[in-house]
Amino acid sequence: MWDYMHTYHGGWGMGWFGFPLMLLFWGVLIFGIVMLVRFFSAERGSRAGTDPIDILKERYARGEISIEEYEERKRNLEK
């Protein structure tokens, strides 16, 4: 007597291609979710901090450069 397992190649559904295709499906799905999260969590369209004067101000605020160096570089950037 035939049961449903014989009609599906021993229960594997798609034969030898079922498992690799399942792994590929889940891999693509997880990759897509990760990329969507990264895309929506990034500061899209924001240009904050890319202006040279802003970067100079940040470096001065962190103490990386002195006031004299800050003013000299600021003058050079404004030329």
pTM exceeds 0.75: no
Amino acid letter, residue 15 = G
pLDDT: which is higher, 16 or 66: 66
pLDDT at 77 over 80: yes
Q: What angle do CA 64, 66, 68 make, to 5 degrees?
A: 145
Judge whether residue 23 has pLDDT over 60.
yes
For residue 50, name the pLDDT band (cuts at 50, 70, 90): confident
d(CA 9, CA 62): 67
Over 90: is that where the pLDDT of 69 sits? yes
**E strand map for 1-79:** none
What percent of the chain stands above pLDDT 70?
Answer: 71
- Residues 53 and 74 sit within 8 Å (Cβ to Cβ): yes
